Amino acid sequence: MYVNERWTNHSPEIIAFHSESRISEITEQLDIERNLNPKSNVDLCLGRYIYIHDLPARFNEEILKNCHLISRKTDKFDMCQAIENSGFGHQIENSSEVLSNTSWFSTNQFMLEVIFHNRMKKYECLTNDSSMASAIYVPFYAGLDLRRYLWGFKASVRDSSGLRLVKWLAEKPEWKKMWGGDHFLVSGRISRDFRRQSNSNYDWGSKFRFLPESENISMLTIESSSGNNDFAIPYPTYFHPSKASEVFQWQERMKRQKRQYLFSFAGAPRSRQKGSIRANIIDQCKTSSQSCKLVDCTNGTTNCDNAIDVMKVFESSVFCMQPPGDSFTRRSIFDSMLAGCIPVFFHPDSAYTQYTWHLPKNYSKYSIFMPGELLRDRKFRIEDRLLQVSKEEVVAMREEVVKLIPRIIYANYRSKLERIEDAFDLAVKGILERIETIRKGEKIE
C-alpha cells in the first residue's frame, strides 16, 4: 500500500523507470551478497585460499620418474602405465554397450595422490602468499613412496622419506603458524599402512603417522583409522568426465538400465584371513536361485582389472556385495555405485564411518546392511534378505545411489565441471572446514 501511495503523482513512465532502477539496485546488492558479481570488491576466495608447498622432487616427481621401482613382478598391472594421463591411466577405447563416452580410463586404485595433486594445481583459489592461505597442501606421494619399500626392506628404509619430509616442513616458516595444524596431504593407501606399531622389520608399513610432526597434519586417504587426524575420501573410479553434461547423461542411463541379476560379487576369497565372509558370499552366489553374477578375482584371473568387464556386471545388477577384504573398504564400492548398483555392506567401517564428507549419514537411503558375523554363522541367506526389499524401496535406493555419482568421481583436471561438486571439491571443502575448526580452537566432533 505504501508503494502505491508513494507513486500516485508520477506518470507510468517515471514509475517504470524508478522501478527498474530499484530492481537493478537490489539485484546488484544480492549479487554482491552472494559473491556472484565479478565487478565487486568481494574476494570470492576468502577463507578458501590454499598454498602448495614446493617440495623437493624426491617427494613426488622423482617417484613417478622411477615408476619401475613401484611395480612388483607379481603385479597384474604396470605402475608405469598407471601414472599415464596424470594418474588416470590409459584412455579406454569406448564400448558403447557398457561405457558412454571418451572420459573413461584404466585408473589404478593407488593413484589418488597423483590425481589429487594435478587437480590441486588447477584449483581456483591457489595463492603464492602463504600468509593468506587457509590451508597448506603438502604434495607428498606417501603411498607410492611407501610401495617401493614395502617388501624386502628394513623398517628404517620404509620410514626414511617420512622422516626427511617432516624435517623439511618443520624448517619452513609456514610450519610455525599452527605447527602443522593447517597442513594436509593425500594418500592413495589406507591409513593403517602408515601406522606401524613397532620398529620390527617384520611389521607392515611405516610409522609416518606416528611421527610427532605428522600427527598434526591432516591426511586425506582412501580409508581412515578411527580416533586420529585422517579423513576418508573416495577411491578413484574409471570415470573422469570433462563436462557436467557427461555426468548427467550417465546418471540418466543408469536410472533406465535393465538389471538381470539380483546381486553380484566381484572379488576373491580370503582363505588366509581369519573370519572372512567372502567364501560364504561366493558359495551363496553360486547357489542362488535368483540369478547372482560372480566375477572371480582369484590370482591368475584378469577380468577384475578390466573396466568394461567389471562395469558390465555392476550395471546389470540390482545389488552389489561389498564385504571387507584386506581392509574394511574397497575400490569396488565406488565402481558399483557409479554403475547405479545398490551396495550391500557387512561391516559399518566399510563405508558408514568412513566417507562422512561424501555419503549420507542416513545409510539406509542408499545401501543395505547385513551383519557379517551372522552371515559367517550362516544365520541367513543373502538372497532371502534381498527379496524382502520391496520394488518401491529398490527404486528409491537406486535413485539415491545415482544422485550420489557426482560426489564419488574425480573430474578431469583439465576442466571444471559447472554446477557439480565432485569428490575433489567436497574433500577440499571438508579439509578447509576442519582446519578452520582447529584454528578457532573449537571442539572437533
Could you read off the pLDDT of 346-403 as tens digits, one per residue?
Answer: 999 999 999 999 999 999 999 999 999 999 888 899 999 999 999 999 999 999 999 9
CA 77 – CA 109 distance, rounded (Å):
11
Please enumerate in sequence order all residues whose Cβ is within 8 A of that of 443, keeping only pairs 6 or more positions apart, or say none: none
Q: What mean pLDDT comes out for the span 43-68?
A: 96
pLDDT classification of 302: cutoffs 50, 70, 90: low
Measuring CA to CA, how many Å separate 60 from each of 149, 161, 192, 266? 15, 11, 21, 33
3-state SS class at 342: strand
Lowest-pLDDT range of 67-81, 233-247, 292-306, 326-340: 292-306
pLDDT tens for 401-421 read 999 999 999 999 988 888 899
| Residue 55 predicted with pLDDT over 90 | yes
| Residue 263 predicted with pLDDT over 90 | yes
| Residue 273 predicted with pLDDT over 70 | no
CA 411 – CA 247 distance, rounded (Å):
10
Please give the grid coordinates belonging to residue 5: 501511495
| Residue 9 predicted with pLDDT over 60 | no
| Residue 29 predicted with pLDDT over 60 | no
pLDDT classification of 39: cutoffs 50, 70, 90: low
Q: Which bin fits 437, alpha (ψ -120 to 50), beta or left (φ > 0)? A: alpha
State the SS3 of 113-151. Answer: HHHHHHHHHCCCCECCCHHHCCEEECCCCHHHHHHCCCC
* Among candidate residues 378, 390, 384, the one with its CA nearest the CA of residue 277: 378
3-state SS class at 271: coil
Q: What mean pLDDT comes out for the span 228-232?
A: 91
Return the C-alpha torsion angle 295, 287, 334, 99, nearest 10: 50
The pLDDT value recorded for residue 275 is 64
| Residue 24 predicted with pLDDT over 70 | no
| Residue 136 predicted with pLDDT over 50 | yes
CA 2 – CA 165 distance, rounded (Å):
68
| Residue 14 predicted with pLDDT over 90 | no
pLDDT classification of 93: cutoffs 50, 70, 90: confident
CA 226 – CA 163 distance, rounded (Å):
23
CATH fold of the domain at 249-408:
Rossmann fold (3.40.50)
Mean pLDDT of the chain: 88
Structure-model confidence comparison of residues 379 and 320, the more confident one: 320
CA 89 – CA 107 distance, rounded (Å):
5
The pLDDT value recorded for residue 306 is 86
pLDDT classification of 28: cutoffs 50, 70, 90: very low
Task: Look up the pTM and report it.
Answer: 0.88
Burial class of residue 263 in the structure, from the number of CB atoms within 10 Å of its CB (0-12 exposed, 13-18 middle, 19+ buried): buried
Lowest-pLDDT range of 48-52, 98-102, 130-134, 305-309: 98-102
Measuring CA to CA, how many Å separate 4 from each of 13, 17, 288? 15, 15, 74
CA 112 – CA 310 distance, rounded (Å):
20
* Among candidate residues 427, 435, 438, the one with its CA nearest the CA of residue 123: 427
Please give the grid coordinates belonging to residue 193: 599402512
pLDDT classification of 95: cutoffs 50, 70, 90: low
| Residue 343 predicted with pLDDT over 80 | yes
Please enumerate in sequence order all residues whose Cβ is within 8 A of that of 26, keeping only pairs 6 or more positions apart, or say none: none
The pLDDT value recorded for residue 78 is 85
pLDDT classification of 96: cutoffs 50, 70, 90: low
Q: What mean pLDDT comes out for the span 206-232?
A: 93
Pairing of strands 230-232, 218-221: parallel
Residue appearing with cell numbers 619430509: 165
Residue spans per domain, the chain: 50-236+423-440, 249-408
State the SS3 of 393-432. Answer: HHHHHHHHHHHHHHHHCCCCCCCCCCCCCCHHHHHHHHHH
